[in-house]
Amino acid sequence: MAGEGFMRKSLILPLLALVAAGCLNKADHHGNNALAFNVRSSDVVSATAEAVDPSRLDTREGTPHFEAQLHLVLSDSGVERFKRFGEAHDGQTFELRVNGVVLLPGVGAGQLRGGAREMSWFVGSLDEAKHLAASLSKK
């Protein structure tokens, strides 16, 4: 009888560990399944990294700090794909990704009307902007 209680207690810890691991794994997948538009190399005619003029930024406390921007010129197919995505998801927010890397987490699809060919997105650092531009320049 005493051995039975010990067996039950020793099985509880591994069972709890499996449940916790399953919950953590499910949380990771949820983040990966977020609504997203992924800019691919085939969508882009040119991608450049540019330093941001600090005099043009809002420097009040609490505002995001950006040192660079990623300037994109989309191909005809990229413009069309981006436009269709915006129309299909009007009113929703989505992640903007560059070759799978999250660039911006909460973009409003209603802002995409018209299918822009040329766009710039703020990035935290010039190195990050250069890395993203280089990844889009690979064909």
Report pTM: 0.67
Q: Distance from CA of residue 138 to its chain's centroid?
A: 19
Phi, psi of 56 (to 5 degrees): -95, 0
Q: Where are the domains of the chain?
A: 1-33, 36-137
pLDDT higher than 60, residue 26: no
Q: Residue 95 in contact with residue 36, Cβ under 8 Å?
A: yes
Lowest mean pLDDT among 4-8, 10-14, 55-59, 62-66: 10-14
What pLDDT band is residue 116 in, cutting at 50, 70 and 90? confident
3-state helix, strand, coil in the chain (%, to 5): 45, 30, 25
Please check whether the domain covering 36-137 is classified as CATH 2.30.30.110. Answer: no
Using one digit for the tens of pLDDT, what is the confidence trace for 68-104? 999 999 999 999 999 899 888 888 899 999 999 998 8
Q: Please count the other Cβ atoms lying within 10 Å of the Cβ belonging to residue 23.
A: 9
Distance CA 60, CA 53 (A): 16
